[in-house]
Structure 1
Amino acid sequence: MSENRAPTNRLIHETSPYLLQHAHNPVDWYPWGEEALRRAKEEQKPILLSIGYSACHWCHVMERECFENPEIAAQMNRDFVNIKVDREERPDLDAIYMNAVVAMTGQGGWPLTVFLTPDGVPFFGGTYFPPEDRYGRPGFPRVLTAVAEAWRTRHAEIEAQSRLMLQELSRSLVPEEGVPMPLTPDLLEKAYRAFAESFDAAYGGFGGAPKFPQASGLEFLMRYYLLTKRVGALEMVEKTLQQMALGGLRDQLGGGFHRYSVDARWLVPHFEKMLYDNAQLIRVYLHAAQITGNALYRDVVADTCNYALREMRSPEGGFYSAQDADSEGEEGKYYVWRLEEVKAVLEENEAKLFCAFYDVTEAGNWEGRSILHVAMPLQQLAERFGITLEQAAERLASARAKLLAYRMQRVPPATDDKVLTAWNGLMLSALAESGAVLEERRFLEAAEGCGRFIEQHLTYRDAEGRLRLYHLFAKGHAKGVGLLEDYAFCIEGFLCLYEATLQEHWLALARELAKSTLSQFEDTESGGFFTTPPEQNDLIYRPMDWTDDALPSGNSVMSEVLQRLALLTGEAELREAALRTLRRMVPLMERYPTSFSRALCALCFYLSDPQEVALLGSKEALEDFLRVLRETYRPNLVLAQADTAEAANASGLALLEGKTLVEGRPTAYVCKNYACKAPTTEPMLLRQQLSSGQ
């Protein structure tokens, strides 16, 4: 790929780094839009749809091997209308066509390669195709020839089959309608058993290689533990978090987590870094730290937040979407080490200590080089080198700082500088919670900056006065129709920011966005939320996303945030919408429990008989009360605050109505269903009231 050549296709006018990477291909690429779809219909040509993202290693490989090949490009241009899509810009399109390819082939992934009728209906697809037959896959030219020939000779048959495919797709993974299903603890127990059956007791995580972090699953297991005290749930979480934190999945120098591990031991990562993984893992480690008090988890939270602030934050205060796996054309080159490099940077004794701890050897542990991972406990390292634990920790920290400074002089992986609304909502939650719990002002300031960025750059009001969201911000401009995940994740982020700062403004934003979500996305007849607003009319059907995968589904997050808002505001319609959504998911949670772990978190909230805490007094005077609330993980608690009784009654929040200060002192009320215990002015009594209510 050469960026010095003259542009050869329409992608040069796009803002997506991924699309711009393909702007110089000899392929006659179109972005998804009216022009390409109209041409396909006018010429009655099939569409070749290629979907990927900028940090995708195999997307780069297929570009180098196929899309930069003049002969293959000529074949594509002759027989197809070629459309390139950034899955992060259009996750709705990606979900529809990924479901189709999985239905056709039994597997999915990126790059996603799908052949469509001129009406956009898929009839054949796959993922990565090599330039010639290899890896047990047909070569891309052979695939192109076969598909083009089939379209010419069996046009009517393909059209008929595609109509059947469309019917199946529009019905797939949509919960069956019928009698509303009860929300019972049996669903939680079934999910716990399913996670236990797939748990890797040796290395943590679930299933075999490749291994993904599964943040939503770990979150569910912590919530389940808090509800039931089943120690096995917390043991699965701790084993997994410790193995990930000590392994190559975590960037031991720079902080943050790579996308997934290609092996079962969490040693060899797929080196891309995604904002959404890191945002979710920050919260998982933070909640584990609150439950267990383990200092390792707090360190991981701080390191990952610092990584995000250092490498992923935009000048405007939002956060970029991803960093590539490759640098200088090699996967992982930026992150791995040769023994002589470490020796060149560090003093001799320092290098010996570092290499022993992080497994840096002459032979290496991956393709002749070393992926840093913790090879022994710190106590063992100290004993081996005859030093104290404190000395070992200090020397390792010094060595890491030197090697990080050296590494930053290397050619870094490319950063995808799109700022995605949904993923920034996730990061907003992570930084707000971390800043509050760790009492780290920098994280809280970054959260407030992110909140202001979303409000200033990614919101607008429509003709009806509703507060709306854009989907992303790139090259100085907001664009794209806001999707359900954008609203759900931002509502949760603003709620977290409200609880961290006690600034009413953030709660008001969450509340208004929730009302806007209900008016745009809710399926009022059957429950749940569509992925897209009604005006998004360039899809073959209006999708509903239910499963919790690398990202939680918008339906799962909405089913919890609406419950939380309902308790704060007293607005019953919010709770009813949340429970309609949850009940519609029950049949799916019964059949595929581990695929609905974030929805199960919302069910935990519902079944927990949540606690409601009202605080009266200035934010500064309430600090000791807030420390009590944050000293352990309390996911089934909602919080509201007002400075005075007058402000409480004027807030419009049912939880604050009628609350007053006792003897003019800061006061806490612990309630359930708005029935409150005696107000207290003592943080110690607040702790007792919270514990007795669990």
Structure 2
Amino acid sequence: MNRLAGEPSAYLRQHAGNPVDWQPFDEAAFAEARARNVPVFLSIGYAACHWCHVMAGESFEDPAIAAYLRGHFVSIKVDREERPDVDDAYMAATQALSGQGGWPMSVFLTPSGQAFYAGTYFPPQQLSGRPSFRQVLEAVVEAWTQRPEKVQATATAVAAALADPVWQVRTDGAAAGAATGPGTGAAAGAGAGPGAGPVSPEGSDPAVWARSLSGAATGAVVAMAAAEDPVQGGFGTAPKFPPTPGLEFLVRHAAGPGESARQAFGLAGRTLGAMVNSALFDQVGGGFARYSVTADWSEPHYEKMLYDNAGLLRVLVHWVRLAEARPEGLAALEAAAPVEPVHHIHATARPVPLPPAEARRAVAATVTWLLAELRLPGGAFASSLDADTVVDGVHREGASYKWSLAELRRAAGAEGAAGAEGAAAASAVGHFMGIPASGAGPLHPGRALTAAERAAWERLLPGLREQRAARAMPARDDKVVASWNGMLLAALAEAAMVLDEPGWLGHAVELGRYVRRVHWDGGMLRRVSHDGRAQGIEGLLEDYAACADGFLALYAATGDGQWFDFAASLLAAAQKFVQDGTVFNSAGGAALGGAPAGARFADAFDNATTGPVALLAGSLATFAAYTGSTEHRVLAERLLATLPELARRAPRSAGGLLAVGQALAAGPVETAVVGAPGPEREALLRRAWASPSPGMVVAVWDGTGAPAVPLLEGRAPAGGPPLAYVCRNMVCARPAASVEELARLL
């Protein structure tokens, strides 16, 4: 019997009508496999996954395939976003068995949960060396019944090989596990062979520690520059993913002095420019797609994920601060750009950095999209929009986002009295926005628009948005994931302050209230909620750390001490993930069946988002800056002890830790603004928020009541003008009473 109809996950419910007897990932499913002595077919995917839909339609809706699965397997479905612990465990096994990974993930297990064969998408018919799904099923059954000893030997060997993490993060200075590069991360530069263990900063010369961080950062910039696509922007070749954690590192590093910072400035600016001026960014509705199928960013994989947009929103906000604070750096890069007009990024011309005005426009468009299409009743945000749109009963990838010249002409009013003029305007816009002469495609300018082109484009936008509103739209996965909402909380709060948008801050406060009210359960953070009700799955380290980071940012933006107190509670609860000097991603409460023992270890590397270790280290560093807590600062530094070696082996997968290293190297700077509310205090606050100093913390107090954080203690306003106190590396400067004085201190 198919048991998915009652599951809260939208992805699982998508398969509730399949003739396959799907089971959720629970003990009952494995018990059935043991009782019947049959293998488990584990299928892992997510609601927005295009190829998951394809395989479902081709195979899981096929009555013959379903009957074969019922007779020879116990079939289990997992939503990878709901159970990333299960996904991580079996992704490692899939990569070990097949040499590649991705979704849909298809894994065959013993009844004890050990993997012995795995792959991704299997077609209904054999294709160019890829076996059909039926062939795979029959081969697995034949091996299971005729060669059980060999199957078990394979399963045991895989489990043993994965029993240790790729790189075990420790906080006690003990040796780390062998490093072979990122396990499931999407980046290049993996090394091989055993590496030296971490060098603990505790007891070492601070100057040596600082040089170690500096060397890791400089080396990473050099490696990323070598991997840059000089023609089309970004790093590597197709498919191209947004390198979000790496961009955050580059933006932070670029705030410093020297040639390495100048190089980082260019890398970050050019990559952001290439992405924002491409089909990866929805030019009509805002928001970023998951990745580009092509190297020139012209053909996106159309799913839109909350975590991508939260991370890129924050990077764009930080880029706005940096580019506006370093206009000379932007001018130098623009001067080095080609002077010939280039109509598309396909041409051999180096991308130009994203101007701050364009970055502000992208921030506003992304926030507008998030609020319009992902925000749920109660203030939280949904997980994703599907890659496919169902049109006339058929799944069509990207159908909601493609445009034809005829549709541009309709938006330009080409059918009216000024038909010829409108048609000409639409043709011009279609040319510089990359619309094909026949058929439909995504909008892909491939470069920054000129002022005249921008004006022509914005004249068409209302008509295009009206047409978009009348179209069928992709399905939305309304699952609320704690970590992704924590990431957005930080981005939204900072965007509100940097771009002076108080309405956005109101939405951030509502989001914070939702997470605290719904996901916090007596000292435990729940990972997922549906319809305003939390599910029983406990959060992972990434959930606790990302939410702590988000609530610290919400405190900085509002000055409301309740948010700082809640961040402190989250960090206190997160101590459970650090046991005997080892950092875990799971607290161990969730059953993983026979998954590899190393599955619980926290991954030091980034994936699409900043890795859990870096999230925790960043939150600890921020908390220490507000409180002066040596304990939290030391733990943050210990978590970075492996950074030099990790950055050497896989710099594009270590962006999160490198970004935290920039904050620690910079102090981080602590800014306290005290005084009665009013224009003078607001001017000081705006100047503080405009600083690109990496990881800088901001606190504000009107002097009434008790100070919310120790950083404010002893700084009650004495009735004079508002003052700003700036401290770095445990040394404080004379308080600033004017914006000009504060600017000099920062």
Query: Is TM (by shorter chain) over 0.5?
Result: yes
Contact 1:645 1:659 in 2 (8 A): no
- Alignment partner of 1:506 is 2:563: yes
- Alignment partner of 1:661 is 2:727: no
Contact 1:273 1:322 in 2 (8 A): yes
Equivalent residue number for residue 309 of structure 1: 371
Which gives a bigger RCO, structure 1 or 2 (Cα 8 Å, sep 6+)? 2
CA distance in 2, matches of 1:434, 1:522: 32
- Alignment partner of 1:342 is 2:335: no
Contact 2:545 2:616 in 1 (8 A): yes
Once the two structures are TM-superposed, the CA of residue 645 in structure 1 deviates from its matched residue by 7.9
Once the two structures are TM-superposed, the CA of residue 23 in structure 1 deviates from its matched residue by 0.5
One-letter amino acid matched to 2:634: E
Equivalent in 408, 423, 435 of residue 496 of structure 2: 435
Question: Map of 1:370-381 to 2, 5 A cutoff?
Answer: 370-374=441-445, 378-379=449-450
Question: Map of 1:182-331 to 2, 5 A cutoff?
Answer: 183=209, 184=212, 185-229=214-258, 230-293=261-324, 294-328=356-390, 329-331=395-397
Distance 1:455 1:64, change over 3 A: same
Distance 1:586 1:362, change over 3 A: closer
Distance 1:393 1:157, change over 3 A: closer
Contact 1:360 1:371 in 2 (8 A): no
Question: Identity percentage over the alignment?
Answer: 40
User: Unpaired segments of 5 or more residues in structure 1?
Assistant: 1-7, 383-388, 462-466
CA distance in 2, matches of 1:351, 1:169: 61
1:408-448 CA deviation, whole Å, 9 max, x = no partner? 11111111111111111111111111111111122111111
Distance 1:370 1:355, change over 3 A: farther
Distance 1:358 1:574, change over 3 A: farther
Moved over 6 A (4+): 360-363
Distance 1:361 1:469, change over 3 A: closer
Question: Map of 1:151-162 to 2, 5 A cutoff?
Answer: 151-162=144-155
One-letter amino acid matched to 1:309: L
With 529-538 and 434-443 compared, the bigger mean Cα shift is at 529-538
1:220-244 CA deviation, whole Å, 9 max, x = no partner? 1111222344322111111111111
- Alignment partner of 1:639 is 2:698: yes
Equivalent in 666, 681, 684 of residue 622 of structure 1: 681
CA distance in 2, matches of 1:172, 1:152: 32
Once the two structures are TM-superposed, the CA of residue 511 in structure 1 deviates from its matched residue by 1.1
One-letter amino acid matched to 1:227: G
1:566-599 CA deviation, whole Å, 9 max, x = no partner? 1211222212221222114543333222111101
Once the two structures are TM-superposed, the CA of residue 659 in structure 1 deviates from its matched residue by 2.1
CA distance in 2, matches of 1:443, 1:109: 35
- Alignment partner of 1:403 is 2:459: no
Contact 1:214 1:549 in 2 (8 A): no
Equivalent residue number for residue 385 of structure 1: none
Distance 1:401 1:361, change over 3 A: closer
Distance 1:664 1:360, change over 3 A: closer
Once the two structures are TM-superposed, the CA of residue 136 in structure 1 deviates from its matched residue by 3.0
Distance 1:564 1:488, change over 3 A: same
Equivalent residue number for residue 386 of structure 1: none
One-letter amino acid matched to 2:19: P
Equivalent residue number for residue 531 of structure 1: 585
Contact 1:353 1:396 in 2 (8 A): no
User: Unpaired segments of 5 or more residues in structure 2?
Assistant: 169-174, 177-196, 202-208, 325-355, 415-420
Equivalent in 74, 77, 80 of residue 81 of structure 1: 74
Equivalent residue number for residue 111 of structure 1: 104
Equivalent residue number for residue 609 of structure 2: 551
Once the two structures are TM-superposed, the CA of residue 48 in structure 1 deviates from its matched residue by 0.6
Equivalent residue number for residue 485 of structure 1: 542
SS in structure 1 at match of 2:727: strand
One-letter amino acid matched to 2:560: Q
With 671-680 and 193-202 compared, the bigger mean Cα shift is at 671-680
Once the two structures are TM-superposed, the CA of residue 550 in structure 1 deviates from its matched residue by 0.3
Distance 1:432 1:655, change over 3 A: same
One-letter amino acid matched to 2:424: K
Aligned residue pair count: 661
Contact 2:702 2:717 in 1 (8 A): no
Once the two structures are TM-superposed, the CA of residue 28 in structure 1 deviates from its matched residue by 0.6
CA distance in 2, matches of 1:363, 1:241: 22
Contact 2:42 2:108 in 1 (8 A): yes
CA distance in 1, matches of 2:130, 2:427: 41
One-letter amino acid matched to 2:233: G
Equivalent residue number for residue 648 of structure 2: 590
Distance 1:419 1:654, change over 3 A: same
Equivalent in 635, 642, 663 of residue 577 of structure 1: 635
Once the two structures are TM-superposed, the CA of residue 360 in structure 1 deviates from its matched residue by 8.0
- Alignment partner of 1:454 is 2:515: yes
Q: TM-score, normalised by structure 2?
A: 0.85
One-letter amino acid matched to 2:586: T
Distance 1:129 1:669, change over 3 A: same
SS in structure 1 at match of 2:444: coil
Equivalent residue number for residue 28 of structure 1: 21
Equivalent residue number for residue 445 of structure 1: 506
User: Aligned Cα RMSD in Å?
Assistant: 2.0
Contact 1:322 1:416 in 2 (8 A): yes
